[in-house]
Amino acid sequence: MGHLVLVASPFQGHMTPMLQLGSVLHSKGFSITLAHTKLNSPDPSNHPEIEFLSLDDNFLAIDASANFTKFLEVLNDNCRLQLQDRLNRKIQEAKEDMTAIIHDNIMYSVEEVARNLNVPSIVLRSSSASYMPAFLALPKLHAQGQLPVQDYMREKIVPELYPLRYKDLPFNSTSTKVIKEMFAQSEIIRTPSAIIWNTMEFLENSALTKLREHYKVPIFAIGPLNETARYTSTSFLKEDTNCISWLDKQAPRSVIYVSLGSLATMEEHELAETAWGLANSNQPFLWVVRPGSVKGSEWIEFLPEGFVDEVRGRGLVLKWAPQKQVLAHSAVGGFWSHCGWNSTLESISQGVPMICRPFLGDQFVNCRYLSYVWRVGLELEYLERRVIMTVIRRLLVDEEGEEIRKRANNVKEKAKYCLCKGGSSFNSLNNLVEFILASYSNFT
Ligand code: UDP
């Protein structure tokens, strides 16, 4: 059918949907090569249908608190020429044409590689669509002096971005200089042939409409990819599957699953508030604390004294969970999440209601949509033990939680329908395949 080169970036939340997209497009008949950095490389044994191409990036780790725009600049510089060289060689050796290159939006330099190789370039966006109009509005808000957001403005609605409040804006406390740099970088992405969005029309129709007007190229909403792709682990960290037998022993819908994704960090006092909030809720909990995610610690050495005894038999703390399996487990009654887009889609796909506590970027927008628009989650406003205990009980014990669960199940059913024959994502995926084949013949 054709050969697609996918170019991933070294972030868990971006790698996962790229691998899923590779698996989905392979099932449509394409052969797939996935180029990735050595830093955070995927495990090829989990993806036998994909050929992997590893690029030297010269990075040892990602530091979420460091200068992100600089990181992306170096990443793109390090990968661009190597990728072009490797793909040129591959074409010559295999005497095989390349049908298109699909790249992560932050690997913006790949557009130039595609131009040089004379193939169409398509972008994969792994954030929510609703985040983008807010991101695109930042320069204007900044020019009006509204960024970084002042305390007295936080609860007010941003007039042109209803229902977002100023505090829901992505990068709402980021410095002016960094916002300018981010925009300069996002302008580098100029002429993709199309954009693939890991979302669903019914969920984000209004944002998708705005984005189609803005980008003026076809946008294919083919999500949720976590449901279409063959199930396999896409994690960089080792998944601790022992938690599944622990979940087997818990009552249906009784457990609160807590995970803040691959990048979020917390202070020692926030760890203590979370620990006591969970303990005082009296509900069983499964809590992912990523090694190094508590500032200044290796893992959980800062857990408050007395906590382990207090929750013995009722709670499990682990380093990394098989999240999709956890969310599919009947014992899980709620998901306290940082509202990363993959976690959001995974939760929605299983009808698990959420507690929303965003940390960075698009997560603030996702939190607002989850809690206020789709109404499948409760916003956790303060990381304080009493507030945490209350919100967990509202979700898992109170009648309010039952109502939220009903809505979550309703969204789950609609998401399923999108993927069935005739559903919007099903159709979009077929349209994407046709688009790729047609663009290729126009290029050659
Ligand atoms: N994840 C996981 N186990 C964990 C925590 C997270 O497998 O213990 C996965 C989760 O299923 C999701 C991804 O890591 O697919 C995190 O992506 P997301 O977009 O939610 O957040 P990010 O890590 O980008 O902040």
| DSSP code per residue over 206-224 | HHHHHHHHHH-S-EEE---
Ligand 1 atom 1 nearest Cα: 323
Q: How far is CA 300 from CA 107, 261, 371, 442, in A?
A: 34, 16, 30, 56
Q: Are residues 410 and 309 in the same domain?
A: yes
Q: Are residues 389 and 438 in the same domain?
A: no
More confident site: 95 or 13: 13
pLDDT of 187 higher than 80? no
- Domain with 308, as residue range(s), is 243-417
Give residue 171's pLDDT band: very low, low, confident or very high (50, 70, 90). Answer: confident
pLDDT of 189 higher than 70? no
**Is 237 a domain residue?**
no
90-94, 181-185, 309-313: the lowest-pLDDT one: 181-185
Round to whole Å and give the CA distance between 101 and 121.
5
Query: Tell me, what's the pLDDT at 242?
Result: 97
Query: Tell me, what's the pLDDT at 408?
Result: 98
Q: Mutate which of 19, 341, 343, 357 to test ligand 1's pocket (most atoms within 8 Å of Cβ)?
A: 343
**Is 353 a domain residue?**
yes
Q: Are residues 105 and 248 in the same domain?
A: no
Query: Tell me, what's the pLDDT at 95?
Result: 67
Query: Tell me, what's the pLDDT at 256?
Result: 98
**Does any ligand 1 atom lie closer than 6 A to the CB of residue 128?**
no
Domain count for the chain, please give it: 3
**Is 297 a domain residue?**
yes
Both tokens assigned to 162: 């209803």
Both tokens assigned to 315: 């709670």
**Domain CATH for 72:** 3.40.50.2000
* pTM passes above 0.95: yes
Residue 441 CB-density burial (10 A; 0-12 exposed, 13-18 middle, 19+ buried): exposed
Q: Are residues 216 and 250 in the same domain?
A: no
Q: Where are the alpha helices (DSSP H) in 4-102?
A: 12-27, 68-94
**Is 64 a domain residue?**
yes
**Does any ligand 1 atom lie closer than 6 A to the CB of residue 9?**
no
Bond from prior residue into 224 cis (ω within 30 degrees of 0): yes
Residue 101: strand, helix, or coil: strand
Q: Are residues 115 and 213 in the same domain?
A: yes
**Is 238 a domain residue?**
no
Contact status, residue 332 vs residue 247, Cβ threshold 8 Å: yes
**Does any ligand 1 atom lie closer than 6 A to the CB of residue 337?**
no
How many angstroms does the Cα of residue 235 sit away from the middle of ligand 1? 8
Of 96, 79, 99, residue with least CA distance to 36: 79
Q: Are residues 177 and 194 in the same domain?
A: no
**Is 107 a domain residue?**
yes
Round to whole Å and give the CA distance between 259 and 249.
20
Ligand 1 atom 24 nearest Cα: 13
Both tokens assigned to 164: 């977002």
pLDDT of 64 higher than 60? no
Distance of CA 51 to the CA centre of its chain: 23
How confident is the model over 198-248, as pLDDT tens digits?
Answer: 999 999 999 999 999 999 999 999 999 999 999 999 999 999 999 999 999
Q: Are residues 267 and 401 in the same domain?
A: yes
How many angstroms does the Cα of residue 127 sit away from the middle of ligand 1? 13
Q: Are residues 81 and 227 in the same domain?
A: yes
Considering just the CA atoms, what is the radius of gyration of the chain in Å?
Answer: 22
Contact status, residue 221 vs residue 200, Cβ threshold 8 Å: yes
**Does any ligand 1 atom lie closer than 6 A to the CB of residue 288?**
yes
Q: Are residues 293 and 429 in the same domain?
A: no
Average pLDDT, the chain: 94
Q: Are residues 96 and 204 in the same domain?
A: yes
Query: Tell me, what's the pLDDT at 191?
Result: 74
Q: Mutate which of 262, 285, 341 to test ligand 1's pocket (most atoms within 8 Å of Cβ)?
A: 262
Round to whole Å and give the CA distance between 361 and 363.
5
Round to whole Å and give the CA distance between 120 and 192.
8
Contact status, residue 135 vs residue 369, Cβ threshold 8 Å: no
**Is 15 a domain residue?**
yes
Query: Tell me, what's the pLDDT at 306?
Result: 96
User: What's the rounded mean pLDDT across residues 393-414?
Assistant: 98
Between β-strands 100-104 and 194-197, what pairing exists: parallel, antiparallel or unpaired? unpaired
Round to whole Å and give the CA distance between 318 and 326.
12
Q: How far is CA 384 from CA 46, 381, 396, in A?
A: 40, 9, 18
Q: Are residues 101 and 199 in the same domain?
A: yes
Q: Are residues 76 and 158 in the same domain?
A: no
**Is 175 a domain residue?**
yes
